[in-house]
């Protein structure tokens, strides 16, 4: 399903030659409006932090407009069901956890972790309706992952790895929040490091230089080095990039690699000894059916410095620094989404080749456009559910 | 116009047999989406409490999207007009009552209680435009009733009766407020007493048992008895259902009868001596054109206990109790409406026969679907008005 | 392009004869719904007060849905550009003024006052994209005027004159704010002085009498005299109309002339010595694409009384008085817009000939209806821009 783009050799791309390729990419034969490409559901997506789903409690979330209830049972297990009672479609998250099952708060219909209806208080047990759709669900590193697509593919599709998060040499900050834009703006924002201009107040005048890019099946990545052209290195930045140096911060031999491996994104910084000093994993999960909002989940791991305790002392400053950066990014990508809404189309004129590679990747890997006349996404949900469970009112 | 369903005999319906009939009702040939069936306008609907329309003042209300101004004249009479000045369509309720007439607040056009324009300050009286639509209007038991449909039918269509309200053996509480859902959700909510589960925190674990149902032309009703399965009887409930008993509340011989007599609904509780101990009359008046909101008007009459004054002492508690119950109901029916909005269709899978009877009744008695190509509801309003008054600018 | 209506002689129009003409005007062959007629862009429109655009700062505004950035350079000059970066369409007003140019806040693309892109920090200067649309822009009397239509016509189209504003015999108040209605409601509101009824609490019971009306190419005007039928003259009104007189205010020989000279409006009061005692210039600039909101800019000049300082002492009262009047007007025209939105059409039944003249003028002078199939306004913007600058990514 995914086209295999030719693997390019690393190549030095000087600023002065960047503008050679771009126009073609935007003037091709009709392409899908990237801002309307739905994310592909056949991957594992985090829908909540573990701490948001307390024992014996529920949490209502959405994936691309589909309502999903997360419930943690008395024994501590988390499961994920369609967040609509089979009876009258009120959200199950307004109900209650009862042992290892969940009861709708309206008339008490009860479902187990597979979505099977196991009790209607005023019906005989031999006549119960079938229930609601369930979703594969796993907890990893404080995140609750759900597989919203074809459940038959869940087992073979790997969860992302989080090596630095579990490595005691690193300290990890978890962050993120809803952002009112299509997920593609988020990928482009992070991958195009020329947007350091946006953070000029926080990061001084850093000049990014792309020093290589690579593509493969389902991924794109780019390497940058940085030079400071003016201004002092802020302290938060020093925390991330390492100790202050006489030259004013970032060593020109440090390399930042940003990679979109669909649908996830990573940003890694290695110093000139090839030590991984910063390791960010991030994902942008669509919330609404139009996918014009996303919830960002980020895990930012920083390698601890040699002196014990220094990291903990400086941590609040790092938090403040990253929050400021993330707020600026959020404001600008939301402005991009508003511009798209107002224009009704993507007018992007990209001049940076790696971003055009990324845009092609997101188009190729996204969900296929819905077939005209095949009904709405809602209908598709029902069909899928029917094919697994049969008619919800049929007697088992 | 209303189909006459066969009158069924009272029949004992044990829980275990309830699920026999339901699937058919939802799998019939295409039926109207109940949540899009407009309420029939040829009935008397309360649009305000009497105290909301002070002497010499106006109140702007709506019925199914039609703006209506209620005005109380200096002499105390209430009348109802289309809430749009014939001139520039600004709401007349922003104007002023002038003796027995109403003046638009913009240029001073003046209408009498029949909607006739009787003055334009800058026009000669012999050249006045005709005016605006008027509505039949009556005040009963603190409610202002309007007949929004064909005025020619108003005289023959009876107002609802309120026997307990005017009976000194009862004390009546007036309540209600806007609720963001289609009126049909309200009828189903009250009639399906299995939803006591929703009120488990207020009412303990009551188990409703339907013991009979009946249908006739324009009405459906069902009888329940109740048993408490666990928990203590709350005090507010004791107020409604009578004194505490050793068995823990509701006597299993008390009978609750819930009846929808289109478009009104009643709930009555009789004790084992056939005394009416509680009598609720309630109506859900659509506010917006899509009829996705309603304003509820309820009159709850409680038979006074033998000892004088006990009722007044306990009344604040009863108010609190009923407000809590009504709040829970409001939240769940609003969740149903949101689910319908999101799904775009009614996915209800009903397993309780009386609710399927009720749903059929509401479909049959509702307004006919608008004929395609016949224009909007707005157009219909104008035509009706024109046919009675002629062109608004024609000279009389 | 503008039809030339026959010039009518001044004519006395007694109230009793006003209703003769109106019905025809509304029963003509299909006419454009006035509330959907777009204002004609080929005029100078104020988009901000001068003090809103500080030196070295930007301001984002809109004209009929088109985003425009106003920027004041270090040297104090104001220029106006399309408020969308050519790269990713984020608003330029979120960027920064840099000397005499403006830099997008995201990746630092830089534009001069003509909209030409003069720097992309990571591209060579010989390969820059072309830039964004610019608008003719002038500052007059504290207002920043922009020409949003065909720039080739800007030089020949005169700016409005403001004689009283620059005359030391007058003191001028600047006022205005966004109003949620189509600009046509504003013109009709001011020109129909029978709406004094709306201000009965502020202005007593003034009775307007229209004593003449005139039409010409692109303009309509009407004269009024006033009589007080009851009540005392408020102090603020005395400020505007002159000293109190024994007859209770307005001298019946004072004449108020209201003129719409497309797209501007003026109201002037001359006393019986033909001295201009009040001079209002006002404009209603559409904000959104549907033109259902406008921002009003008003310059109200009052001739100073003989005694120095009296005007300054009384000024706060005048401000209060005019704010109250303007608030009442705003509320009623917003009610008209809501009525139009709800009805989906203009049901106006006008009985006052000068308002029918005005309505015809606004229809004739408005922008032509968009040709079906010719694309959206957005597309038109792009085409216009392309025709002047060529493809934004073409190399110069």
Mean pLDDT, range B134-143, rounded to an integer: 97
Q: How far is C373 from chain A (nearest CA, A)?
A: 16
Q: What percent of chain A has pLDDT over 90?
A: 68
Above 90 in pLDDT, residue A258?
yes
Q: Give residue A395's pLDDT.
A: 35
Residue to substitute from A331, A343, A355, interface C, most C β-carbons within 10 A: A343
Between residues C205 and A65, which one has the greater pLDDT?
A65
Q: Give residue A308's pLDDT.
A: 76
Q: Which among C267, C269, C205 has a CA at the least distance from the CA of C233? A: C205
Give the pLDDT confidence of A55-66 residue by residue, as tens digits. Answer: 999 999 999 999
Write the residue in B86, B90, B127 that is nearest to C332 by C-beta: B90
Alpha carbons C270 and C211: distance in angstroms, whole number = 14
Alpha carbons A236 and A218: distance in angstroms, whole number = 33
Between residues A11 and A195, which one has the greater pLDDT?
A195
Spell out which chain B residues touch chain C, with contact meaning CB-CB distance below 8 angstroms.
65, 67, 84, 86-91, 94, 103, 105-108, 120-124, 127, 129, 376, 378, 382, 392-395
Alpha carbons C363 and C354: distance in angstroms, whole number = 14
Residue to substitute from B58, B85, B122, B382, interface C, most C β-carbons within 10 A: B122
Alpha carbons B300 and B281: distance in angstroms, whole number = 7
B393 pLDDT band, cuts 50/70/90, is very low
Q: Give residue B321's pLDDT.
A: 82
Give the pLDDT confidence of B115-133 residue by residue, as tens digits. Answer: 999 999 998 888 899 899 9
Give the pLDDT confidence of B73-98 residue by residue, as tens digits. Answer: 999 999 999 999 999 999 999 999 99
Mean pLDDT, range A316-328, rounded to an integer: 89
Above 70 in pLDDT, residue C185?
yes
Mean pLDDT, range A266-281, rounded to an integer: 94
Residue in chain C closest to A198 (alpha carbons) equals C106
Alpha carbons C326 and C320: distance in angstroms, whole number = 10
Q: Give residue C232's pLDDT.
A: 61
Say which DSSP state C1 is in.
-
Between residues B189 and B246, which one has the greater pLDDT?
B189
**A85-94, A374-383, C220-229, C317-326: which has the highest mean pLDDT?**
A85-94
Q: Give residue A230's pLDDT.
A: 64
Please state which of the ranges A29-43, A174-188, C247-261 shows the lowest mean pLDDT. C247-261
Please state which of the ranges A82-91, B45-54, B227-236, B340-349 shows the lowest mean pLDDT. B227-236
Please state which of the ranges A9-23, B367-381, C18-32 shows the lowest mean pLDDT. A9-23
Taking each helix axis from N to C end, the angle separating B183-191 and B353-365, rounded to the nearest 10 degrees, works out to 150
Above 70 in pLDDT, residue A42?
yes
Multiple choice CATH, A54-158+376-389, 3.40.1400.10, 3.40.640.10, 2.102.10.10, 3.30.420.40: 2.102.10.10
Question: What's the mean per-residue pLDDT of chain B?
Answer: 84
Q: Give residue C247's pLDDT.
A: 40
Residue to substitute from B91, B98, B102, B106, interface C, most C β-carbons within 10 A: B106
Spell out which chain B residues touch chain A, with contact meaning CB-CB distance below 8 angstroms.
15-19, 22-23, 26, 192, 194-195, 197-198, 207-208, 331-332, 335-336, 339-340, 342-345, 347-352
Between residues B67 and C379, which one has the greater pLDDT?
B67
Beta-carbon neighbour count of residue B257 at 10 Å?
16
Give 3-state DSSP helix, strand, coil % of chain C, rounded to 5: 30, 30, 45
Above 90 in pLDDT, residue C387?
no
Q: What 3-state DSSP class applies to C79?
A: strand
Q: Give residue C153's pLDDT.
A: 97
CA dihedral B237, B243, B249, B255 (to 10 degrees): -80
Q: Give residue C234's pLDDT.
A: 62
Above 90 in pLDDT, residue B21?
no
Alpha carbons A280 and B84: distance in angstroms, whole number = 61
Contact A393 B351 (CB under 8 A): yes
Q: Which residues are paired to B225 by β-bridges? A: B209
Alpha carbons B101 and B74: distance in angstroms, whole number = 9
Q: CA-based angle C161:C166:C170, to the nearest 5?
A: 115
Residue B247, CB half-sphere, CA atoms under 13 Å: how many? 11
Say which DSSP state C117 is in.
E
C370 pLDDT band, cuts 50/70/90, is confident
Give C151-198 as a DSSP string.
Answer: GGGTTTSPPPP-TTTT-TTEEEEEE--EESS-HHHHHHHHH-GGGGGG
Q: Give residue B295's pLDDT.
A: 98
Q: Which residues are paired to B206 by β-bridges? A: B228
C-alpha C184, offset from chain centre: 10
Residue in chain C closest to B395 (alpha carbons) equals C19
Residue in chain A closest to C96 (alpha carbons) equals A198
Question: What's the mean per-residue pLDDT of chain C?
Answer: 84
Q: Give residue A48's pLDDT.
A: 98
Run of H or E including A111: strand A110-111
Q: CA-based angle C211:C213:C215, to the nearest 5?
A: 170
Mean pLDDT, range A343-370, rounded to an integer: 95
Mean pLDDT, range A318-336, rounded to an integer: 93
Residue in chain A closest to C103 (alpha carbons) equals A197
Q: Give residue B234's pLDDT.
A: 62
Please state which of the ranges A218-227, B196-205, C186-195, C272-281 shows the lowest mean pLDDT. B196-205
Give C304-342 as a DSSP string.
Answer: PPSSTTHHHHHHHHHHHHHHHHHHHHHHHHHHHHHHHHH
Give the CATH number of domain B52-158+377-389. 2.102.10.10
Q: Give residue B306's pLDDT.
A: 79
Q: Which residues of chain B neighbour A395 with C-beta distances below 8 Å?
A: 19
Mean pLDDT, range A319-348, rounded to an integer: 94
Alpha carbons C210 and C353: distance in angstroms, whole number = 10
Q: Give residue B47's pLDDT.
A: 98
Q: How far is B47 from chain C (nearest CA, A)?
A: 20
Above 50 in pLDDT, residue A221?
yes
Contact C343 B378 (CB under 8 A): yes
Between residues C154 and B316, which one has the greater pLDDT?
C154
Q: Give residue A315's pLDDT.
A: 87
Peptide bond into B263 cis (omega under 30): yes
Write the residue in A26, A335, A350 that is nearest to C91 by C-beta: A335
Q: How far is B188 from chain A (nearest CA, A)?
A: 11
Q: Give residue C88's pLDDT.
A: 97
Contact A207, A200 (CB under 8 A): no
Q: Give residue B307's pLDDT.
A: 80
Mean pLDDT, range C344-354, rounded to an integer: 95
Give the CATH number of domain B15-37+163-365. 3.90.380.10
Give the pLDDT confidence of C20-76 residue by residue, as tens digits. Answer: 333 334 444 468 899 999 999 999 999 999 999 999 999 999 999 999 999 999 999
Mean pLDDT, range C353-358, rounded to an integer: 97
Between residues A208 and A333, which one has the greater pLDDT?
A333
Alpha carbons A237 and A224: distance in angstroms, whole number = 16
* Homologous superfamily in CATH for domain C15-37+161-365: Naphthalene 1,2-dioxygenase Alpha Subunit; Chain A, domain 1 (3.90.380.10)
Q: Which residues of chain A neighbour C376 with C-beta distances below 8 Å?
A: 344
State the pairing for strand pair B110-111/B117-119: antiparallel
Write the residue in C16, C194, C344 that is nearest to B121 by C-beta: C194
Q: What 3-state DSSP class applies to B171?
A: strand
Spell out which chain C residues touch chain A, with contact meaning CB-CB distance below 8 angstroms.
65, 67, 84, 86-91, 94, 103, 105-108, 120-124, 127, 129, 376, 378, 382, 391-395
CATH class of the domain at A15-37+160-365: alpha beta
Q: What 3-state DSSP class applies to A330?
A: helix
Q: How far is B387 from chain C (nearest CA, A)?
A: 17
Question: What residue has token string 């004593």?
Answer: C211
Mean pLDDT, range B163-188, rounded to an integer: 96
Between residues C226 and A297, which one has the greater pLDDT?
A297
Give the pLDDT confidence of B39-53 residue by residue, as tens digits. Answer: 999 999 999 999 999
Between residues A203 and A87, which one has the greater pLDDT?
A87
Please state which of the ranges A228-232, A324-328, C5-9 shows the lowest mean pLDDT. C5-9
Contact A1, C108 (CB under 8 A): no
Mean pLDDT, range C247-262, rounded to an integer: 78
Contact C348 B88 (CB under 8 A): yes
Please state which of the ranges A168-172, A204-208, B171-175, C356-360 shows the lowest mean pLDDT. A204-208
Q: Which residues of chain B neighbour C325 with C-beta distances below 8 Å?
A: none
Q: Which residues are paired to B220 by β-bridges? A: B215, B260
Question: What number is the ipTM of this complex?
Answer: 0.84
Q: Which CATH architecture has domain C53-158?
A: 3-layer Sandwich (2.102)
Q: Where are the domains of chain A?
A: 15-37+160-365, 54-158+376-389
Alpha carbons A110 and A116: distance in angstroms, whole number = 8
Alpha carbons A326 and A338: distance in angstroms, whole number = 18
Q: Give residue C373's pLDDT.
A: 52
Alpha carbon distances (Å) from C110 to A196, C78, C387: 15, 16, 21
Give B22-89 as a DSSP string.
Answer: HHHHHHSS----GGGPPPPSSS-EEEEEGGGS-TT-EEEEEETTEEEEEEE-TTS-EEEEESS-TTT-
């Amino acid at each position: 399903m995914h086209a295999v783009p030719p693997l390019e050799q690393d190549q030095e791309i000087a600023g002065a030659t960047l503008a050679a390729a771009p126009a073609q990419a935007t003037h091709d034969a009709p392409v899908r409006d990237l801002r309307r490409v739905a994310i592909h559901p056949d991957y594992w997506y985090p829908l909540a932090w573990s701490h948001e789903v307390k024992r014996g409690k529920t949490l209502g979330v959405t994936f691309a407009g589909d309502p999903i209830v997360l419930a943690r049972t008395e024994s501590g297990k988390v499961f994920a069901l369609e967040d609509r009672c089979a009876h009258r479609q009120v959200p199950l998250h307004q109900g209650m956890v009862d042992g290892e099952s969940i009861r709708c708060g309206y008339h008490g219909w009860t479902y187990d972790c597979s979505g099977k209806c196991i009790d209607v208080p005023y019906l005989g047990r031999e006549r119960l309706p079938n229930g609601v759709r369930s979703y594969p669900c796993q907890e990893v590193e404080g995140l609750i992952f759900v597989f919203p697509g074809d459940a038959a593919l869940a087992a073979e599709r790997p969860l992302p790895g989080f090596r630095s998060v579990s490595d005691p040499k690193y300290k990890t900050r978890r962050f993120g929040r809803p952002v009112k834009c299509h997920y593609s703006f988020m990928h482009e924002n992070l991958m195009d490091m020329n947007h350091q201009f946006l953070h000029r107040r926080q990061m001084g005048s850093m000049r990014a230089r792309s020093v290589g890019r690579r593509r493969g099946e389902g991924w794109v990545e780019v390497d940058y080095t940085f030079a400071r052209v003016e201004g002092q290195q802020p302290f938060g930045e020093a925390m991330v990039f390492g100790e202050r140096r006489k030259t004013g911060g970032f060593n020109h031999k440090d390399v930042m690699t940003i990679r979109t491996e669909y649908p996830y994104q990573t940003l890694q910084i290695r110093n000139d000894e090839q030590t991984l000093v910063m390791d960010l994993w991030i994902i942008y999960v669509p919330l609404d059916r139009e996918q014009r909002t996303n919830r960002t989940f980020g895990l930012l791991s920083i390698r601890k410095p040699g002196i014990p305790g220094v990291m903990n002392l400086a941590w609040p400053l790092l938090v403040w620094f990253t929050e400021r950066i993330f707020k600026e990014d959020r404001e600008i990508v939301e402005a991009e989404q508003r511009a798209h809404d107002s224009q009704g189309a993507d007018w992007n004129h990209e001049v940076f080749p790696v971003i055009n590679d990324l845009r092609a990747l997101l188009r190729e890997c996204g969900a296929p456009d819905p077939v005209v006349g095949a009904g709405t996404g809602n209908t598709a949900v029902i069909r899928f559910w029917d094919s697994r469970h049969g008619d919800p009112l049929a007697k088992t």
